[in-house]
Amino acid sequence: MSSSIQVVPVRSPKGMASVLMFAAFIGLFSETALNMALTNIMSDFGVSPTTAQWITTGYLLTIGILVPVSSLLIQWFTTKQLVVCSLTFSILGTILAALAPSFAVLLVGRIVQAVGTGIILPLMMNVILLIFPIYKRGAVMGLMGLVITTAPAIGPVLAGLIVDSLNWSYIFWISLIFYVALVIIGLKRLIMYQLLHDLLLI
């Protein structure tokens, strides 16, 4: 298959890639950020370490399940629908976790949050391969790899500072601010440029 057939022309591929990468960055940041707050969560909700670790394990399991399932979702839904769905799950899960009155609610919030991340990760990779010509894909994929590896690495560092200064729930509130900014600025820009097409039905 020739590379020209695989490229979908869009007005601002860099803008679209930036929105998808930023959404993935926030989700991957949340993957490891809560590790620094496990002791506080155990104390607040009176749960054992074995139970508390499900906050991280459940998040990773959900992503692990959704990444392969997303290959089917990409065939059934448009790119716009999947991006909106991913951000909706991420925001709802973040709010639910931030306001959690019990450990069970916190865990449900984390799983809902992970659904959004599990959708956006493979979508980001597929869209980037479609909207950039082959001679630019190396640089873009390298930048995407930097996002994927950096976000989980800095998560514990930033979360540790947040937990030391504020309550662990502020990890979610700060993530929510970034998600809202992404929706207001990034997603609006994509819709305005008509970038959220049925990209993967080529």
Write down the domain spans for the chain: 10-192
Phi first, then psi, for residue 2 (nearest 5°) are -75, 150
Q: What is the pLDDT of residue 95?
A: 92
- Predicted local distance difference test score (pLDDT) of residue 87: 84
What does CATH list as the number for 10-192? 1.20.1250.20
Predicted local confidence at residue 190, as pLDDT: 58
> Do 64 and 114 meet the contact criterion of CB atoms below 8 Å apart?
no
- Residue 156 has a pLDDT of 80
Residue 113 near residue 89, CB atoms below 8 Å: yes
Sequence-distant (6+) residues with CB within 8 A of 159 are 32, 33, 34, 35, 36, 37, 171
Q: Is the pTM of this model over 0.85?
A: no
Let me know: does 41 contact 96? Beta carbons within 8 Å: no
> Is the predicted pLDDT of residue 158 greater than 80, yes or no?
yes
